[in-house]
Amino acid sequence: MAEELSYVIINPYTVSKSRTGGIIARLLTRTALDLVSAQMFAPSAQLVEEYNKHVVTDKDPQDRFIQELIRDYIKENFSPDPISGQRKRLMMLLFRGDDAVRKVREAVGNIKKNSPRGETIRETYGDFILNRDGTVRYFEPAVLASPNVEEARTKLKIWAKYSEGDGGLLDSKLITLPTATDPQHERTLVIIKPDNFRYPSGRPGNIIDIFSRTGLAITSIKLHRMSVAEAEEFYGPVRQVLREKLGSSIADRAGELLETAMDLKIDKDTRANLAKLLGPLAGDQQFNNIVKFMTGRCPSECPPEERTMLGLEKCIVLTYEGVDAVRKIREVLGPTDPSKAPPGSIRREFGQTIMVNAAHASDSAENAQREQGIVKVRQNNFKSVVESFYGD
């Protein structure tokens, strides 16, 4: 069976209600497909109009009345505000794999009258409420997905065409956040680490769901494979900390081994010298382990020409914005050591060790800005994934 490329659009209302994490978790577990790209969009009127031309079709198993409701919904809820020009945030996910279009559509579900609740994403997060006379009282489809391979191709090429102008990091040029003028408004960085992608699971979505407790807005999302060069720059400030921090502990261990194996008395001054000698060695080894964990490549074995190549491990990079964003995200994340993290925090729930601890978050506004530059939050592979898959 040939691989297919499929998509899910998480609608503006769903994004604003912070339901993205639960939906991502459901998609990853129900489809077991490879999530190959993710991007935030703030659609222009032109994008909405062009996309909407392909919503109502005879090849969609969805009832035509529902299709027309979706078309009208998109025009009303995806378009910029006609007075202020403010655009709406939505999230788009790309999945790749065998029979991807059907699997995604089944997980999303069709919209039906009097349907059971909770089996599909739309049954859980959407609403289709009718009045007694059969007229529509309220309609919220929650997400959109293509009904067939042909339409997936057509629609994805439209979104790819507009992805650079209408998508990416949604800064003040595209959207208006209520807190944007507040002096305490911040943009911070989050990385959902590679340990969450070892096998298909809902972990990435569940982590995003916990971050949603902060009430902050997601303004960018991307799938990223960190290069060795990026990882060394990103974690560069940690190297010296590790050298100093590990020196005393490894000196104590070395002293105990020497005393036991060679019947030597290792005094305080000798242990201090051992710390100076072994600390940098242990710190550099731990630093290399971090780089390998994030990239899948051992930096000491990586040829110079491969240092800037995409890494072998996948992560999700997000930016969150709002008042006091750095502190709020760090509180929900928990301390570096999962064993010391409070119940309900991300690292307590999903972390294993100090290194394999589920997610990273910037510890200051200054570091957030530095880290965003390293992982290039303004760049996204969405367009290149679509174009390379279809070959045109």
Residues involved in catalysis: 360
255 phi/psi in degrees, rounded to 5: -60, -45
Calpha distance 349→9 (Å, rounded): 28
Q: Strand pairing partners for 193?
A: none
Going by C-beta distance under 8 Å and a sequence separation of 6 or more, which residues neighbour residue 106? 30, 120
For 70, 237, 247, 286, 357, the CA distances from 282, given in Å and listed in that order, are 59, 16, 7, 6, 20
Q: Check residue 296 and report its DSSP letter.
A: S
Amino acid at 372: Q
With contact defined as beta carbons under 8 Å apart, do 276 and 254 qualify?
Answer: no
Q: How far apart are CA 151 and CA 145, in angstroms?
A: 10
Residues 6+ apart with CB under 8 A from 72: none
Contact 310, 303 (CB under 8 A): no
How far, in Å, CA of 179 to CA of 216, rounded? 10
Q: Write the burial class of residue 174 (CB in 10 Å: 0-12 exposed, 13-18 middle, 19+ buried).
A: buried
Angstrom distances, CA of residue 109 to CA of 83, 105, 115, 232:
34, 6, 10, 43
